[in-house]
Structure 1
Amino acid sequence: MLNVSGLSAAYGASQVLFDVSLDIREGEVVTLLGRNGMGKTTTVRSIMGLVAPKGGGVQFEGQPVAGLSPERIARMGAGLVPEGRQVFATLTVRENLVATASNRLKRNDPWTLQKVYDLFPRLGERAGQMAGTLSGGEQQMLAVGRALMTNPRLLILDEATEGLAPVIRTEIWHVIERLKAQGQSILLIDKNLGVLKRLADRHYIIEKGRTVWSGTGADLERDAATVQGYVGL
């Protein structure tokens, strides 16, 4: 589904990515791990066309996407829950959900407002409330719901539970588990190794803009000391 090979990227003269490689197969949950500032978000932004790669390749559904606009990549089926949520603060919950809703890939059982409200009942309760007045956890639910309303082939969550209260964090993890059970392909950035080892199929670690380790949950357990050194958790 997604293949990133030897990716390099920069912000102006400041190079951030040097050699990032990863792949995600249909129906997999894959994590991108590493300490802050190692290039995880830049990798996601490069995949989504928000940062132009300097080198290497990004293929989505077998098609090269490096250099395409974010809108084009989104229309191909990539849905992003960005770091910091970035909901439309002056729109209501409902307006946020319908603003970018689409089913361009003709999914047989597409996401609808009601399905999102069933997944996140709080959003249904606050459908008419301005998004900027929601709590951080509710905004994260809204960001996930908004991405799902695009009916993505691949859902990317950048810092899925960062800064959330424990009860909200648990709710987000339950939702991700449900999405995985439904066959949703997911690229996940988070720091909760305990949950990620159980939830994800495979893991990649980035260190200073390079992929330095990859493996399964069992590999994470086996290489715990090495992983701890890279991730620092």
Structure 2
Amino acid sequence: MLHVEALEAAYGDSRILFGIDLSVQKGEVVTLLGRNGMGKTTTIKSIFGLLKPRAGRVSIEGEDLTGASPHRIALAGLGLVPEGRQIFPTLTVQENLVATARPGGKWTLARIYDLFPRLAERKRNMGSQLSGGEQQMLAIGRALMTNPRLIVLDEATEGLAPLIRADIWSVLTRLKDEGEAILVIDKNVDALTCFADRHIVIEKGQVVWTGTNDEILATPEVKDRFLHV
């Protein structure tokens, strides 16, 4: 599905990524973990063409898309739920959902409203009138409406109330059960281990640990060393 090999990236003269390797297979849920400032969002930006890599390779279904434009990455089947949500504040909920939709796939307005009943209730409200949790639901729904092969969530529950976080985890578990491939960044490691298949830990722009869900549960020192503040 997604294969990233030896990815390097920088902002000006400041190198951020030093040879990142990661992959996500069909139907797999993979997490990208690490403390703040370790390169997680830079990795996502480099994958999506929002930041041109200095070196390495990004391929989707075997097609080399290293440094390709964001719209080409989207057409190849990657859907992004960006950090900070970035919904369109002057469009209604329904307009946000259809603005970038790709027709003909399994994700339709009806299915999104079934997944997020709150969005159905608020479909005529402007994006700026939604709570943070509702905006995150909308950002996920908008990404799904592109009918992606892989959905990527950057800081999936950052800044959300506990009950809303639980709703998001429930939705991601449902998506996994339906066979969606997911790459997720979040700080709630305990919640992620309830449904993820594999975990990748980044420290100072490098992958320092990777393993299965069972392996991270069996090695609590990974969380103590690389994830706790």
Answer whether TM exceeds 0.5 for this pair. Answer: yes
SS at match of 1:198: coil
Alignment of 1:184-195 (within 5 A): 184-195=180-191
Shifted more, 191-200 versus 157-166: the winner is 191-200
**Unaligned 5+ residue runs, structure 1?**
none
Shift of 1:171: 0.5
Q: Distance in 2 between matches of 1:168 and 1:124?
A: 17
SS at match of 1:32: strand
Shift of 1:226: 2.8
Q: Distance in 2 between matches of 1:72 and 1:154?
A: 14
Which position in structure 2 is the counterpart of 1:183?
179
Which position in structure 2 is the counterpart of 1:56?
56
Q: Distance in 1 between matches of 2:5 and 2:86?
A: 28
Which position in structure 2 is the counterpart of 1:228?
224
Alignment of 1:97-136 (within 5 A): 97-103=97-103, 107=105, 110-136=106-132
Which position in structure 1 is the counterpart of 2:19?
19
SS at match of 1:191: coil
Shift of 1:228: 1.9
The alignment covers a number of residue pairs equal to 229
CA displacement, residues 98-150 of structure 1 (integer Å, 9 cap, x when unaligned):
000004xx54xx21111101100111101110001100000000000000000
Decide whether the 8 Å contact of 2:46 with 2:67 is kept in 1: no
CA displacement, residues 180-213 of structure 1 (integer Å, 9 cap, x when unaligned):
0000000000111111112100000000000110
Shift of 1:167: 0.8
Which position in structure 2 is the counterpart of 1:43?
43
Q: Distance in 1 between matches of 2:226 and 2:126?
A: 40
**Unaligned 5+ residue runs, structure 2?**
none
Shift of 1:222: 2.2
Q: TM-score, normalised by structure 2?
A: 0.98
Give the letter aligned to residue 207 of structure 2: T
Shift of 1:172: 0.5
Which position in structure 2 is the counterpart of 1:8?
8
SS at match of 1:218: helix
Give the letter aligned to residue 224 of structure 1: P
CA displacement, residues 79-112 of structure 1 (integer Å, 9 cap, x when unaligned):
0000000000010000000000004xx54xx211
